[in-house]
Amino acid sequence: MDTDQEVAEFQRVFSTAVEQIHRSIIGQSEAIEFALIGLIAGGHVLLEGAPGLGKTRLVKTLSRLFNLQFSRIQFTPDLMPADILGTNILSQNEKGERVFVFQGGPIFGNIVLADEVNRGTPKTQSALLEAMEEHTVTIQGKRYQLPPPFFVMATQNPIEMEGVYPLPEAQLDRFMFKIEVQPPPASDMRAIIDVPVSLPEEKPLFRLDDLAALQRTLARVPVASHLKDYVVRLYRATHPTSPEAPNITRQYIRYGTSPRGAQALMLAAKAWALLSGRFNVAAQDIQRVAVPVLRHRLIRNFEAEAANITTADILGELMRAVSELPAK
Amino acid sequence: MGSAAVAELRRWLIPGAPLALLFLGGALLSPWVRYFAVYMGLVAAPLLLGAVLTATVRSRHSRGYLAKWIDLENQLEDRLASAVEWDALPQLDGFQQRCVETLATELASRRLELPRTRPRNLLFTLTAAMVLTAALAFSLGRRAPEREADATEKVKLAAPVAAGAGEAVKALGEQVASLEDVQLAQLASDLSVLVQKLDAGSLDRERSLAELERLRREATQLGATRAGGASLDTSGSGALGPLARALASGDLKSAEAALDRVSGQLAAGSLADEEVARLRTLVGALASVAESASAPDGAALLRKVADKLGDADPAASAQQLAAAKGLLPSLMKHLSAAGAAERAAQVSAALERSLGPDAPEREVVASLKAPHGPAAAGAGQPLPSGQTSLLGQNGAGDGVVAEPRSAPPHTPSDQGSELRPAGVWNGRVLRELFTDSGSAPSDEVRRLLVEHERVAEQRFERDEIPGQYTDAVRAYFAGLHARGGSWTPTRK
User: Is B81 in CB contact (< 8 Å) with chain A?
Assistant: yes
List CB contacts (< 8 A) between A270 and chain B: none
Q: What angle do CA A171, A176, A182 make, to 5 degrees?
A: 95
Q: How many residues are recorded in chain A?
A: 328
Residue B466 vs residue A68, higher pLDDT: A68
The residue type found at B211 is E
- Helix H, strand E, coil C: the string for chain B is CHHHHHHHHHHHHHHHHHHHHHHHHHHHHCHHHHHHHHHHHHHHHHHHHHHHHHHHHHCCCCHHHHHHHHHHHHCCCCHHHHHHHHCCCCCCCHHHHHHHHHHHHHHHHCCCCCCCCCCCCHHHHHHHHHHHHHHHHHHHHCCCCCCCCCCCCEECCCHHHHHHHHHHHHHHHHHHHHHCCHHHHHHHHHHHHHHHHHHHCCEEHHHHHHHHHHHHHHHHHHHHHHCCCCCCCCCCCCCHHHHHHHHHHCCHHHHHHHHHHHHHHHHHCCCCHHHHHHHHHHHHHHHHHHHHCCCHHHHHHHHHHHHHCCCCCHHHHHHHHHHHHHHHHHHHHHHHHHHHHHHHHHHHHHHHHHCCCCCCHHHHHHHHHCCCCHHHHHCCCCCCCCCCCCCCCCCCCCCCCCCCCCCCCCCCCCCCCCCCCCCCCCHHHHHHHHCCCCCCCCHHHHHHHHHHHHHHHHHHHCCCCCHHHHHHHHHHHHHHHHCCCCCCCCCC
Q: Do A280 and B77 touch (CB under 8 A)?
A: yes
Q: What CA–CA distances, in Å, run from A27 to A14, A95, A182, A204?
A: 16, 57, 10, 22
* Minimum-distance CB partner of B82 among A4, A224, A326: A224
In 3D space, the residue among A246, A230, A217 whose CA is nearest the CA of residue B71 turns out to be A230
In 3D space, the residue among A204, A177, A211 whose CA is nearest the CA of residue A294 turns out to be A177
Q: Is the pTM of this model over 0.80?
A: no
User: Is B106 in CB contact (< 8 Å) with chain A?
Assistant: no
pLDDT of residue A64: 87
Average pLDDT over residues A34-53: 89
pLDDT of residue B484: 43
Phi-psi category of residue A52: left, alpha or beta, with phi > 0 → left and psi -120 to 50 → alpha? left
In 3D space, the residue among B407, B409, B474, B411 whose CA is nearest the CA of residue B445 turns out to be B407
* Minimum-distance CB partner of A222 among B64, B81, B93: B93
The residue type found at B146 is E
Nearest-angstrom CA–CA distance, A275 and A290: 16
pLDDT of residue B394: 33
ipTM of the complex: 0.83
Digitized pLDDT (tens) for each residue of chain B, 492 residues in all: 567 777 777 778 778 878 888 877 787 777 777 777 777 778 888 888 888 888 888 777 888 888 888 888 888 888 888 988 888 888 888 888 889 888 888 888 888 777 776 777 778 788 888 887 887 777 666 655 555 667 788 888 888 888 888 888 888 888 888 777 788 888 888 888 888 888 888 888 888 888 998 999 988 888 887 776 666 666 666 667 788 777 776 777 888 888 888 888 888 877 777 888 888 888 888 888 887 777 788 888 888 888 877 666 777 788 878 877 788 887 877 788 887 888 888 888 888 888 876 667 777 888 787 654 443 333 333 333 333 332 233 333 333 333 333 333 433 333 333 333 345 666 777 777 766 555 667 777 777 777 777 777 777 777 777 777 888 887 877 776 655 444 444 433
Nearest-angstrom CA–CA distance, B331 and B339: 12
Task: For the beta carbon of residue B264, count every other beta carbon within 10 angstroms.
Answer: 15
The residue type found at B117 is T
Q: What CA–CA distances, in Å, run from B22 to B25, B28, B41, B45, B49?
A: 5, 10, 14, 17, 21
Query: pLDDT digit string (tens) for A193-206?
Result: 877 766 666 778 88
Its sign, for the CA torsion B89, B93, B97, B98, is negative
Query: pLDDT digit string (tens) for A237-283?
Result: 999 999 989 999 999 999 999 999 999 999 999 999 999 988 999 99
In 3D space, the residue among B136, B142, B175 whose CA is nearest the CA of residue B40 turns out to be B136
Q: Do A280 and B94 touch (CB under 8 A)?
A: no
Its sign, for the CA torsion A76, A77, A79, A84, is positive
* Minimum-distance CB partner of B96 among A2, A222, A278: A222
Q: Do B98 and A222 touch (CB under 8 A)?
A: no
Q: Do B68 and A324 touch (CB under 8 A)?
A: yes
Q: What CA–CA distances, in Å, run from B213 to A237, B164, B345, B422, B490?
A: 80, 19, 9, 16, 41
Q: Is the peptide bond before A149 cis (omega within 30 degrees of 0)?
A: yes
Average pLDDT over residues A63-85: 89
Q: Say if strands A70-74 and A253-255 run parallel, antiparallel, or are unpaired.
A: unpaired
List CB contacts (< 8 A) between B97 and chain A: 3
Q: What CA–CA distances, in Å, run from A311 to A28, A289, A318?
A: 20, 14, 10
Nearest chain B alpha carbon to A223: B82
pLDDT of residue B65: 85
User: Is B102 in CB contact (< 8 Å) with chain A?
Assistant: yes
Share of chain A above pLDDT 90, in %: 46
Please enumerate residues of A whose Cβ is less than 8 A from a Cβ of B. 2-4, 6, 220-222, 224-227, 278-284, 324-328
pLDDT of residue A254: 93
* Chain centre to alpha carbon of residue B462: 37
Using 50, 70 and 90 to split pLDDT, how confident is the model at A316?
very high
Instruction: Check pLDDT > 50 for residue A30.
Output: yes
Nearest chain A alpha carbon to B1: A328
The residue type found at A113 is L
Instruction: Check pLDDT > 60 for residue A227.
Output: yes
User: Is B61 in CB contact (< 8 Å) with chain A?
Assistant: yes
Nearest-angstrom CA–CA distance, B352 and B380: 27
Residues 6+ apart with CB under 8 A from A243: none
Residues 6+ apart with CB under 8 A from B457: B390, B396, B397, B400
List CB contacts (< 8 A) between A283 and chain B: 78
**Nearest chain A CA: its distance from B64 CA (Å):** 8
Q: Do B65 and A326 touch (CB under 8 A)?
A: yes
Nearest chain A alpha carbon to B77: A282
**Three-state secondary-structure class, residue A2:** coil
Q: Do B78 and A222 touch (CB under 8 A)?
A: no
* Minimum-distance CB partner of A280 among B60, B68, B95: B95
Q: Do A222 and B86 touch (CB under 8 A)?
A: yes
User: Is B86 in CB contact (< 8 Å) with chain A?
Assistant: yes
Using 50, 70 and 90 to split pLDDT, how confident is the model at A303?
very high
In 3D space, the residue among B329, B307, B169, B315 whose CA is nearest the CA of residue B256 turns out to be B329
Nearest-angstrom CA–CA distance, B261 and B321: 11
